[in-house]
Amino acid sequence: MEQESQLKISLLKVDGGASANNFLMQFQADLLGITVERPENIESTVLGATILAAIGQEIWQAEHLPKVLHGKSEIFQDKISAENAVILVSAWQNAIKKCLA
């Protein structure tokens, strides 16, 4: 993403079913060398669509949004060295190549 956007990424915000896996979130933080932030409500995509529909149907007012979306986030910081991350990413890339061969 950094190569395509030419922007430095220091935070990855996650949601969805896979984000419930603490090991996976820590692994991403370690391999990417950045902070991974998971909201209390991991189904925020569904929540967002529901909120937009409710606002569109005038069932709800937009000013109520901050109260609903505010929640405790869990933070995953990278814990391994950059050298170890490179080794793990290289092993992953080799596994992918073998699967595609």
CATH of the domain at 18: 3.30.420.40
pLDDT on residue 70: 61
pLDDT on residue 67: 63
**This prediction's pTM:** 0.74
Dump pLDDT digits (tens) for 19-73: 999 999 999 999 999 999 998 888 877 888 888 898 999 988 888 776 666 677 8
Domain that holds residue 43: 2-100
Count of the separate structural domains present in the chain = 1
pLDDT on residue 66: 63
Cα 86 from Cα 65, distance rounded (Å): 41
From residue 6, alpha-carbon distances to 2, 9, 55 in Å are 5, 9, 35
99: pLDDT strictly greater than 90: yes
Q: How many residues does the chain have?
A: 101
pLDDT on residue 56: 92
Residue 41 gets which letter from DSSP?
S
